[in-house]
Structure 1
Amino acid sequence: MLKTPWMDNTSLQQPAILAHQTRQSPMRPLSRHWLVQRFSLSPSYHYDKRVIQRATDAIRREGSPDLRPAAVMIALAERDGELHVLLTKRATHLKHHPGQISFPGGKVEESDTDIVETAIREMEEEIGVTTDRAHLLGCLAPLPTVSGYLVTPVIAFVDADYTPVLDANEVHSLFEVPLAQFLRRDAITKQPFHVRGNTYHIYAMSYENHLIWGVTAQILHALSQQLSLN
């Protein structure tokens, strides 16, 4: 698992989520069949240029010559015709960003044949959930991060009857969110946060008692915009 694939190695003030965002609005169930058709027919969504610029500036300040390739897995389980996204809460003892919400993922290893294999391997290592290329939906555009990674989100379906086996060194807990929650209008919005005396705006949303923000929320926002449900 990446130590810092989506945030600065500094103390951050988490964004305050507006109260109206925590209320769950009526939503339509989203099935695997619906998603396959919608994703296949939708043009790729490009990330916010200002977010990309911030990552580029941070990398330039660090003097990093190259972005290191990495992948995260957007794993989808279907139950009763409705897709759910698997998310993890990082272990609370981790030095970097303990307890934050993320996708399973990590850097590309030399043994990985491609970015898809990285995402599949990392998911199995971190949460014990497996999939294969036959259940692959596709990938979102790679996203540069302030810590010098180029993260490719891989989307795949997993068996809804999976039995998780969490790596306690990496993962505190695993939970699911209906995909439709992320596709509600204005579900994911920009919120202010502070680092090194500066205020930045990042994507964030709340779900039950979880705050989903940073690159995780940015990736989910990109997916929602590509599907163009709203």
Structure 2
Amino acid sequence: MIDFSAAAFRERVQKAFSQDSEHAQAPHDKTPIKDLAWHEGEVLHLKDAAVLIPIVDRGNEASIILTQRTDHLASHAGQIAFPGGKVDDHDASAEGAALREADEEIGLKPEFVDVFGYMRPYVSSTGFRIFPVLCTVREGFELVANPGEVADIFEVPLRFLMDPDNHQRKSAEWRGKMRHYFAMPYGDYYIWGVTAGILRNLYETVYSP
């Protein structure tokens, strides 16, 4: 039986990273993972973004905080997302950008967050180079959705998201081309696209045999 506590997750991540020399590199130097929907030559310039992968310490069963974006946003409207957003010029690092955005979007204060690593950058077909920042979150925090950006905040058990039986591979036509993507339906929430792709990469890095 796999231990899905926050402490066990962190230990597994650090073990996986210790076996891959590239994970010791700075975030911008890591080899990026390309989205399943990616087509070469389609995106000429990438914009940097950063997201938190917030693993909440819930005792024996950790969970991950996710949000549902509002329907009027310019990109990924209505979709399930990690807390995070674009890296601004005044951000000192991707980690700083992710922490700032998480505070602005859902009121997750940095004092409850313990950052301990970066996944490889994730390149999306929509033109973003996303830096996933791994962290644990201790209990006691209070979240408040920014109504201009976030329609809902919820948690999904880490055990569910790291189970490959819950990872569906889908395809659809978009911008005149057939695209592939992962989906992880959870109750009333349809986790798919970039968020599901990052979660799949997390599974392959930490839990895949």
TM-score (normalizing by structure 1): 0.77
2: CA distance between counterparts of 1:93 and 1:47? 29
Q: In terms of mean alpha carbon deviation, does 173-182 or 129-138 score higher? A: 129-138
2: CA distance between counterparts of 1:30 and 1:186? 16
One-letter code aligned to 1:199: M
2:85 to 78, 81, 106: 106
Instruction: State whether structure 2 residue 191 is matched by structure 1 residue 217.
Output: no
Instruction: State whether structure 2 residue 5 is matched by structure 1 residue 31.
Output: yes
1:51 to 36, 48, 51: 36
Which of 1 and 2 has higher RCO (CA within 8 Å, sep 6+)? 1
3-state DSSP of counterpart to 1:125: helix
Query: Does the CA contact (< 8 Å) of 1:108 and 1:115 recur in 2?
Result: yes
- Distance 1:178-1:134 versus aligned 2 partners, 3 A rule: closer
Unaligned runs of 5+ in 1: 1-26
1:153 to 132, 138, 157: 132
Number of residue pairs the alignment of both structures matches = 198
2: CA distance between counterparts of 1:217 and 1:172? 19
One-letter code aligned to 2:5: S
Instruction: State whether structure 2 residue 151 is matched by structure 1 residue 172.
Output: yes
Aligned counterparts, 1:1-230, within 5 A: 28-43=2-17, 51=36, 53-54=38-39, 56-60=40-44, 64=45, 67-131=46-110, 135-228=114-207
One-letter code aligned to 1:78: D
- Distance 1:70-1:182 versus aligned 2 partners, 3 A rule: same
1: CA distance between counterparts of 2:49 and 2:35? 21
One-letter code aligned to 2:13: F
Shift in Å at residue 34 of structure 1?
0.8
- Distance 1:152-1:52 versus aligned 2 partners, 3 A rule: farther
Query: Does the CA contact (< 8 Å) of 1:191 and 1:202 recur in 2?
Result: yes
2: CA distance between counterparts of 1:150 and 1:185? 25
Q: In terms of mean alpha carbon deviation, does 44-53 or 97-106 score higher? A: 44-53
2: CA distance between counterparts of 1:208 and 1:115? 31
Unaligned runs of 5+ in 2: 24-30
The CA RMSD measured in Å over matched residues stands at 2.4
What percentage of residue pairs aligned between the two structures are identical? 32
- Distance 1:226-1:132 versus aligned 2 partners, 3 A rule: farther
2:28 corresponds to which residue? none
Shift in Å at residue 89 of structure 1?
0.4
1: CA distance between counterparts of 2:93 and 2:35? 29
- Distance 1:74-1:132 versus aligned 2 partners, 3 A rule: same
Q: In terms of mean alpha carbon deviation, does 125-134 or 208-217 score higher? A: 125-134
